A and B are shown apart, each in its own frame.
Chain A
C-alpha cells in the first residue's frame, strides 16, 4: 500500500506515495503550483486550471490539484506553455471579474506578467451588491466562480447546503434556491463561505460599512435600522 512512485519534476528526481496528487508532491518539494479554486479546507475540483503543469507525453496540460501521479512521470512546472496558460487564465478572469480585492490573484498576475488590459471589451459581471442579512454582503461582480463557498456550505465544512450554482454558461452564478434572500434559506450565517472566498465577493458587513467610512458606533446605528427592517421589536 505504501508504495512510492518516482517522478522527475523540472529535472529533479522525486519519490512520493503513489496515491498523491501532483500538487501534493509539488508541496512536498516546496514548489506548490499557484491555486485559485482550491483551498486547504475544500476538496480540489480542478475548475480553474491555474495549477496546470506540463506532463511529457500528455496532449493537454494537467491540473495538478486533481491529477494523480504515475510511475516515471516527467513534469515541467514552469514551461512556456504552462506560464502562458496561467497568464491567459488570469487575463481572462481579470477582464470579466473585479479582482481588485483579491490580493493573491493580483500577486499571481504580477508573477506571470499578465496584461491587465488584454481584453478591454470583455463582458463584465456587473451587478448590484446583495445586502439581505445582518452579517455579510455578496458582491458577485467580484465572483470568479471558484465554487469554494458552495463547498464550504456543503460537504466540506458546514453540511448546510444553502448555496449552489445556478444558471448556465456566462449567466451561471452562485445563488440560493429560487434566488431567495439568505435569511429565507437554510443558511446559519456561520460565515465559513466568507472565510474561503478568495476575492472578497463575500465580505463581513462590518468591513463593508467601515469601507464606506462609518465608525463602529455608526455601524451600530445602521444595524439598529436593519433590526427594524427584519421585523424586530423595540
Chain B
C-alpha cells in the first residue's frame, strides 16, 4: 500500500463541472486522485479523466526551459518539432519577446497584435493577460476558445435574458421534474453531471427528453428521444413552441410580468407546425407534440445543452429557440429551472468572466462604454482602446490580410481547434512573430518563435470558475518541472519589459506577490466578484458569483426576480439550412465531437494513460453506409472533404444516423478540422463544426 505524504484539495483540470479532487502525493508525484464526499459540486464523484487522467502532469515531454526557434526570422515560417528550437534563459526569451511585440506595436500599431488567453488557465492568469494586452499593448484583440464552443449560447442568452451563464447550480438537478438535453453527449463530455441527471431519472422519476442525432448513452434514460437530422434543431424547437402556444400551455402570468415580444413571436410561428418540422428534421410530429406538452406542463423543467446547439452556423438561433421555450413556459427563476449551456473547459466560464473577450473587461463591462473604460483607465493608470477587438476567427482573417502581424497564445491550441486547418496553417506561416506559452509542445507551438514553459494546474495557486459560476481554488501540490513558471508570473515579467521597450512613463501595475492579490484587484473592479476572496473560497469550498458583498451568500440560481435585461425577450426565428450539405461528390454528412477518454486537442490526454484505451482516431459509420463501401470495423478509412483528408479507423455502429459520420476531434495525426469548413454564425462568429460534407474511401 502506498502511503500518501500529502493530500492536496484542488479542482479537476478537465471539464466545466469543476469537480473537487484530493491529489495524493508521494515523492512529488500524484499517485492517486480521490474526491471528497459531501463537497459540491461533485460530492465525491469523478469520471475517468479526473480520476485517472492527470498523469500528464508528470509526462517527460513537459516544457522545462524557454525555447527560441533556431531559424528565427525565416519566412514563411515552417512548423517544426522541438528539435527546431534551442534552449534559452528566461531573460533572453522574455527580452526578445518584448522587443518583437514592441517592434510590431511601434511599426504597425497595437491592433497588429492578436492574442489568445486560456480557458485552461486560472482567472488570475487571464485577468492579468487581458490587462497586459489592453493596458500595455493597447488592443482589445483578445479572445479564447469559448468563441469556438459556447459563443452562440452567449450571444443567444444575451439577446433573450441579457446574460450568458448557466442559470442553475449542479446541485439543483435532483429537484427537476422534466429536463431537455439537447446536443450534449453528457455521459462523455460532462460525465459527472450526467450521473446527477441520471439520478433524477432513476431515483426521482424525472422525465428526460433527449434531442440528438446520435444514439448517445443518455437516450437509454430518456422518456423521449427526438432524433433530428444534424442542423435542424431550430425547426424542432420552433415547432415545440408552436404547440405550446397553440394548445395554450404557456405561462401567461410569467409572460405578462417578465417577458416582452409575445404577440410578435406568436404570430411568427403560426406556420411552424410539428408537421412542418417533421419535413425538415425527420422527427415525427407526434413526438414533437408530446415533448412540448411534457416540457410545458412540468412543475420544474430545465434545459441543458452542449456543442450540438452552439457549434453551428445558426448557433445563436439554436440557443434562442431554447430560450424561447423557457420563456414561454415560465421555466426560469425558480430552483432547478433554467437554461444551462454546459461549459466545456475547466475555466471557460472564468476566462470569459475575467475579461478574456474582445468586447468586454472583467465582469462583462463593455470596452466601448466610456464609464467602464474610465474606471479601468483610472485604476490601471493608462489610456485604453475604445474599439472592441477581433474575435478568434476574425483575428485569423486579419492575419491573412496582413493587418495582424504577431500572436500571443497562452495555453490554447488554435492549430487543432480552428476549422479548415490547412487554411489556418497558411495564415500562421506569414506572421512576423508568434509567442506561445504552454505546458507542452503542441501543434501551435510548432509555429512559435518563442515558447515559454508554464506550470500546470497541480503546480500553482489560483481559481477556476466552473460551469455553474462556482469559483473554486486550485493549489500547489507538486513542483513545476525545470524552470517552468506560473502563467501570471510570466505575463507580469513580459508586461514590464514591453512597457520599458515602449517607453511607457507609468506601469499599468504588474507587481503582484500571489494569485490571491491579483484576484483582489479584479474583484475591486468587478461588482459581481466584490464579495469573493481566496480566503472566503477556502472557508466555503466555493462561492457562486454574482456575489457583490462579503456578506452576500453567492447566487446558485439566477433570475429569481428579474433578468439582467429587465424583461426576457422572445425572438422570432427563421429556420435556415446548413451551409454545406452532402451531395453526389461528398455524399456523407460529417459531424465532429468528443469521446469520453480524450480531451479537446489531445495535448493532455494523449500524454496520459487515457490514451491506452482509446489510442487511434476513429470514424463512426452506420452499417447501411459501411456495407456498399465494404467497410468493416477496424478498417483504416480515408475521409475527404473539400478542404482536406485524414486517415481514421472505422467503427461500424448504429450510433450515428445513416448518411452521417462522426469523427472525434482529439487526434493530431488525423485532425477532424482538416475537414471542417470555416462557415460562421453571423452573430456569434462561431464556426460550424457539426455539419460538413465528406466522402469515405477504404485504404488498402
Pick the contact of B615 from A40, A157, A230 — CB < 8 Å?
A230
Known: A189-B48, A207-B2. 13 other contacts (CB 8 A): A41-B43, A135-B609, A155-B203, A188-B596, A189-B597, A190-B191, A191-B48, A192-B46, A192-B51, A207-B31, A223-B612, A226-B612, A233-B615
* With known contacts A155-B202, A190-B51, A211–B2 Cβ distance under 8 A: yes
Collect the chain B residues with CB atoms within 8 Å of residue A101's CB: 1
Contact across chains for A188 and B48 when beta carbons are under 8 A apart: yes
Q: Does A227 contact B (CB under 8 A)?
A: yes
Residues 274-295 of B at the A interface (beta carbon under 8 Å): none
Q: Does B375 contact A (CB under 8 A)?
A: no
Distance, CA A100 to CA B37, complexed state (A): 25
Distance, CA A223 to CA B611, complexed state (A): 9
Nearest CB in chain A: distance from B49 CB, A: 9
Pick the contact of A189 from B29, B34, B52 — CB < 8 Å?
B52
A-B contact pairs, 13 of them (CB 8 A): A41-B37, A100-B1, A134-B609, A134-B612, A134-B613, A158-B45, A189-B51, A195-B46, A206-B31, A207-B31, A216-B58, A232-B615, A233-B615
> Which residue of B is nearest A158, CB measured?
B195
Q: Does A77 contact B (CB under 8 A)?
A: no
Mask for B585-620, Cβ within 8 A of A = 1, else 0? 000000000001100000000000111110110000
Q: Does B174 contact A (CB under 8 A)?
A: no
* With known contacts A135-B52, A188-B187, A206–B32 Cβ distance under 8 A: yes
Distance, CA A223 to CA B45, complexed state (A): 25
Collect the chain A residues with CB atoms within 8 Å of residue B187's CB: 188
Collect the chain A residues with CB atoms within 8 Å of residue B642's CB: none
Distance, CA A100 to CA B44, complexed state (A): 25
Collect the chain B residues with CB atoms within 8 Å of residue A233's CB: 615-616
How many chain-A residues does the 8 Å CB contact rule pick out? 38
Interface residues in chain A, defined as those with a beta carbon under 8 Å from any beta carbon in chain B? 40-41, 100-101, 133-136, 155, 157-159, 183, 188-192, 194-195, 200, 204-207, 210-211, 216-217, 220, 223, 226-227, 230-234
Distance, CA A9 to CA B58, complexed state (A): 52
Pick the contact of A227 from B2, B221, B612 — CB < 8 Å?
B612
Contact across chains for B202 and A159 when beta carbons are under 8 A apart: yes
Distance, CA A216 to CA B58, complexed state (A): 8
Collect the chain B residues with CB atoms within 8 Å of residue A159's CB: 195, 198-199, 202, 221
Contact across chains for A40 and B191 when beta carbons are under 8 A apart: no
Collect the chain A residues with CB atoms within 8 Å of residue B611's CB: 227, 232
* With known contacts A157-B195, A207-B2, A190–B609 Cβ distance under 8 A: no
Residues 29-63 of B at the A interface (beta carbon under 8 Å): 29, 31-32, 34-35, 37-38, 43-48, 51-52, 55, 58-60
Contact across chains for A41 and B44 when beta carbons are under 8 A apart: yes
Distance, CA A134 to CA B52, complexed state (A): 9
Nearest CB in chain B: distance from A93 CB, A: 18
Distance, CA A226 to CA B610, complexed state (A): 12
Residues 44-93 of B at the A interface (beta carbon under 8 Å): 44-48, 51-52, 55, 58-60
> Which residue of B is nearest A187, CB measured?
B48
Distance, CA A97 to CA B363, complexed state (A): 57
Pick the contact of A191 from B43, B51, B199, B612 — CB < 8 Å?
B51
Collect the chain A residues with CB atoms within 8 Å of residue B597's CB: 189
Distance, CA A41 to CA B192, complexed state (A): 14
> Which residue of A is nearest B26, CB measured?
A210
* With known contacts A159-B199, A207-B2, A232–B612 Cβ distance under 8 A: yes
Chain B: interface secondary structure?
mixed
Distance, CA A54 to CA B44, complexed state (A): 33
Nearest CB in chain A: distance from B60 CB, A: 6
Distance, CA A222 to CA B48, complexed state (A): 19
> Which residue of A is nearest B24, CB measured?
A207
Contact across chains for A205 and B609 when beta carbons are under 8 A apart: yes
Collect the chain B residues with CB atoms within 8 Å of residue A211's CB: 1-2
Contact across chains for A190 and B613 when beta carbons are under 8 A apart: no
Distance, CA A135 to CA B649, complexed state (A): 23
Distance, CA A7 to CA B29, complexed state (A): 50
Contact across chains for A135 and B48 when beta carbons are under 8 A apart: yes
Pick the contact of A204 from B52, B59, B615 — CB < 8 Å?
B52
Nearest first, the 10 closest Cβ-Cβ pairs linking A and B are A232-B615, A134-B612, A191-B51, A159-B198, A189-B48, A227-B612, A101-B1, A135-B52, A134-B609, A233-B616
Contact across chains for B1 and A190 when beta carbons are under 8 A apart: no
Contact across chains for B51 and A217 when beta carbons are under 8 A apart: no
Contact across chains for A133 and B613 when beta carbons are under 8 A apart: yes
Distance, CA A135 to CA B55, complexed state (A): 11
Collect the chain B residues with CB atoms within 8 Å of residue A216's CB: 29, 55, 58
> Which residue of B is nearest A231, CB measured?
B615
Pick the contact of A230 from B31, B37, B202, B613 — CB < 8 Å?
B613
Contact across chains for A204 and B58 when beta carbons are under 8 A apart: no
Collect the chain B residues with CB atoms within 8 Å of residue A207's CB: 1-2, 31-32
Distance, CA A234 to CA B615, complexed state (A): 9
Collect the chain A residues with CB atoms within 8 Å of residue B1's CB: 100-101, 200, 207, 211
Nearest CB in chain B: distance from A149 CB, A: 14
Distance, CA A18 to CA B130, complexed state (A): 57
Collect the chain A residues with CB atoms within 8 Å of residue B198's CB: 159
Nearest CB in chain B: distance from A58 CB, A: 31
Distance, CA A185 to CA B202, complexed state (A): 21
Distance, CA A143 to CA B26, complexed state (A): 26
Collect the chain A residues with CB atoms within 8 Å of residue B613's CB: 133-135, 183, 189, 230
Contact across chains for A195 and B44 when beta carbons are under 8 A apart: yes
Distance, CA A223 to CA B606, complexed state (A): 12
Distance, CA A115 to CA B18, complexed state (A): 46
Collect the chain B residues with CB atoms within 8 Å of residue A134's CB: 52, 609-610, 612-613
Collect the chain A residues with CB atoms within 8 Å of residue B199's CB: 159
Pick the contact of B45 from A157, A194, A204, A206 — CB < 8 Å?
A157
